[in-house]
């Protein structure tokens, strides 16, 4: 049996501009200002040009993403990556705008894919979604202490439409997300802590975010709840932010 070879460590070029767009419904979402403050601090520390918009309607969610894409494609400089943070009430696959109308997440994600955004073609696109994805609540399960723990072708001319994308959801499909009235959401606060205090590839940082959230106990309506984020990745290389 031959010895397994270590993986080649190919990394995204992060020497260019880093752009971030945050769209947040603060209306009827107490604690969201604390999340915006934390994100602003994180983007500043990580060298992002950050834009924040409060209380978009469903249509404005779509329009702001399209404006973000058009502004990037109009730039002459090299862009390394883009972060998009979406915070609102939601159901699976949809977000609720300030006007109570719904917008499809899939339509928002399509705006920056490799087909529709030239500036971000083959560049990492990171979506952070702080929203409920259903009505389920997780009381948690008891575990013992020990348990907490294709053919490649070289054709650089083409690239799949949906690669180089990372979706980070505050909760798994079908479940609600939690937010504290004053301190903000466990998800955003934990993510900002890890991204600003730790170094490493982003998927390893997200494993640490998941570990911390899995250990946390949230009390809601007098009952203990557990919550964990969900990460979906089509990244082709390692992404380092620091």
Catalytic sites, residue numbers: 89, 132
Alpha helices in 2-147 (DSSP H): 32-45, 58-73, 105-110
Nearest Cα to 87, choosing from 53, 62, 111? 53
DSSP state for residue 88 in the 8-state scheme: S
**Distance of alpha carbon 9 from alpha carbon 140, whole angstroms:** 36
Q: H or E stretch including 75?
A: none
Alpha helices in 19-116 (DSSP H): 32-45, 58-73, 105-110
- Is residue 164 exposed (0-12), middle (13-18) or buried (19+ Cβ within 10 Å)? buried
Sheet with 230-233, strands from edge to edge, namely 49-54, 17-24, 79-87, 125-130, 165-169, 230-233
**Distance of alpha carbon 15 from alpha carbon 81, whole angstroms:** 10
**What count of residues does the chain have?**
242
φ and ψ of 122, to 5 deg: 70, 10
């Amino acid at each position: 049996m031959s010895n397994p070879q270590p993986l080649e460590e190919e990394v995204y070029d992060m020497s260019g501009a880093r752009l971030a767009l945050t769209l947040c419904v603060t209306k009827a979402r107490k604690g969201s200002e604390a999340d915006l403050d934390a994100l602003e601090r994180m983007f500043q520390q990580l060298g992002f040009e950050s834009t924040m918009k409060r209380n978009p309607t469903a249509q404005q969610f779509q329009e702001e993403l399209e404006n973000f894409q058009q502004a990037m494609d109009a730039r002459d400089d090299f862009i390394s990556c883009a972060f998009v943070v979406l915070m609102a009430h939601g159901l699976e696959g949809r977000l609720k705008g300030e006007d109570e109308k719904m917008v499809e997440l899939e339509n928002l994600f399509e705006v920056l894919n490799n087909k529709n955004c030239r500036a971000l073609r083959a560049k990492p696109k990171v979506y952070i979604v702080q929203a409920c994805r259903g009505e389920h609540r997780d009381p948690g399960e008891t575990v013992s202490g020990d348990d907490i723990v294709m053919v490649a072708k070289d054709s650089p001319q083409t690239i799949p439409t949906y690669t180089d994308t990372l979706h980070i959801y505050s909760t798994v499909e079908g479940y609600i997300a939690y937010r504290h009235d004053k301190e903000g959401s466990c998800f955003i606060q934990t993510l900002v802590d890890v991204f600003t205090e730790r170094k490493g590839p982003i998927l390893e940082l997200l494993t640490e975010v998941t570990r911390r959230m899995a250990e946390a106990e949230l009390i809601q309506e007098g009952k203990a709840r557990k919550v964990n984020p969900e990460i979906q990745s089509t990244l082709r290389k390692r992404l380092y932010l620091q």
